[in-house]
Amino acid sequence: MDSEMAHPRGLTPEHEVTRDQTIPCETTRKRVYQRFKHKKDDSNVKFVPINVEFNGSGSKTINKRARPPPKGLPRRPISTTGSRKKQVQRNAPWNLARISHRRRHSTAYIYDERAGDGTCVYVLDSGIDLDHRDFEGRASHSVSFWPDSTSQSHGTRVAGIIGSIKYGVAKKTKLLSVQVLNDQGATTTSKLTAGLEYVLNNAQYRSKYCPKGTVVNISLTIPYSLAVDLAARKLVTRGYFVVVAAGNDGDEVSESPATERLVCTVGSSTRLDKIAWGSNHGLDINLFAPGQSIMSTRAGGGYQQASGTSMAAPHVAGVGATLLAQGIRVVDLCNYITSIAVKNAIDLRGLEDETPNLLLSNGFT
């Protein structure tokens, strides 16, 4: 099957949008049917995936609300084990302080001392600089679908927000690199789907290595793909917490796997509690997290500031890891996280859709 090249446009180096910026792509449902019209009426064909090469997120295609809703996950009682003892990181980055307080302007990050210990977070991205000292040996390589690619810049920043000792949310979680992006920040639908399927199998194998639970962070989106959405859904139904960046189109969420109903889709907010410029929005958003001027680890050592929903999603992944480490046991962890989020904290003026007004909180204060 021929690949179709997506053409990049206007990538902005000072913002972290090089891996989830909008890239025009003409892959629509109509074209799928036109190309495979001889299979359209075949009852044995549920869907026909196209292997599309893309760079970041694609143009608006199909919104998940147009599809029949899934049955959903069963609700189970939430339980915790052990008492919570707090740790305080003083003079913390604004984003860490924000998610541990109900109001802004705090300068301390308050979190549970377990800090994600006993959990694992798969980072589907461009790879992680395993030698960065802030990972303290907790980062490891799991698999690469681009063995000749060596750029780790985006993935290292994402991993740093999830679990680095200085800038991370869950400072004791293990970080597992699944490289699905190449040096140009591009991938294909088949490689992303393969990455998700790999995690499904590998997480079962590593269950003893991650006794408290497993989280999956995907700081990228692509033009709508049913194959990708189904692969992400399967991870959630198997008990893994899947977090996805909403994308930076400045429009309603319409791309995969953010379009999948069972994943936790995250928009970006600013230090003034406003929706960040370019952040996607709409009913398919689950909540917002800090995504403006976020300092994190840089490949090759040191630190770097970046912005975008790519930086917002790992905050939610980190909070998920910290909650799992505390003994939170609930099938729908995203639903629990939205239940403890700060209500009506985001300035959404100018939006006329049904964007949920929820800001991430770690639930400690």
User: What is the C-alpha to C-alpha distance for residues 226 and 260, in angstroms, rounded to an integer?
Assistant: 9
How much is the average pLDDT of 100-129? 96
Q: What is the pTM of this model?
A: 0.82
Question: Is residue 239 in a domain?
Answer: yes
Query: Which tens digit of pLDDT belongs to each residue from 173-220?
Result: 999 999 999 988 888 999 999 999 999 999 999 999 999 999 999 999
Structure tokens at 178: 């699944």
| pLDDT at residue 65 in the model | 43
Question: Is residue 162 in a domain?
Answer: yes
What band does 81 get if pLDDT is binned at 50, 70 and 90? Answer: low
The rounded mean pLDDT for the chain is: 82
Q: Which domain holds residue 91?
A: 86-359
Q: Which residues are catalytic?
A: 125, 154, 310
- Percentage, residues of the chain above pLDDT 90: 69
- 87 or 184: whose pLDDT is higher? 87
How much is the average pLDDT of 332-339? 95
Question: Is residue 14 in a domain?
Answer: no
Residue 7: which H helix or E strand, with range? Answer: none
Question: Is residue 250 in a domain?
Answer: yes
User: What is the C-alpha to C-alpha distance for residues 259 and 231, in angstroms, rounded to an integer?
Assistant: 12
List, as one string, the DSSP characters of 256-288.
Answer: BTTT-TTSEEEEEE-TTSBBPTT--BSTT--EE
User: What is the C-alpha to C-alpha distance for residues 61 and 52, in angstroms, rounded to an integer?
Assistant: 14
User: What is the C-alpha to C-alpha distance for residues 17 and 291, in angstroms, rounded to an integer?
Assistant: 11
Question: Is residue 70 in a domain?
Answer: no
How much is the average pLDDT of 144-171? 94
Question: Is residue 31 in a domain?
Answer: no
Query: Which tens digit of pLDDT belongs to each residue from 210-269?
Result: 999 999 999 999 999 999 999 999 999 999 999 999 999 999 999 999 999 999 999 999
What band does 353 get if pLDDT is binned at 50, 70 and 90? Answer: confident
Structure tokens at 336: 């629990």
CATH number at residue 338: 3.40.50.200
Query: Which tens digit of pLDDT belongs to each residue from 8-26?
Result: 222 223 333 333 333 333 2
- Percentage, residues of the chain above pLDDT 70: 77
Split into its structural domains, the chain has a count of: 1
| pLDDT at residue 365 in the model | 75
Question: Is residue 292 in a domain?
Answer: yes
What band does 66 get if pLDDT is binned at 50, 70 and 90? Answer: very low
Question: Among 48, 9, 14, 18, which Cα is nearest to 31's?
Answer: 48
| pLDDT at residue 139 in the model | 98
Tell me, what amino acid is at 160? G
| pLDDT at residue 12 in the model | 29
Question: Is residue 183 in a domain?
Answer: yes
Lowest mean pLDDT among 57-66, 296-305, 356-365: 57-66
How much is the average pLDDT of 296-302? 96
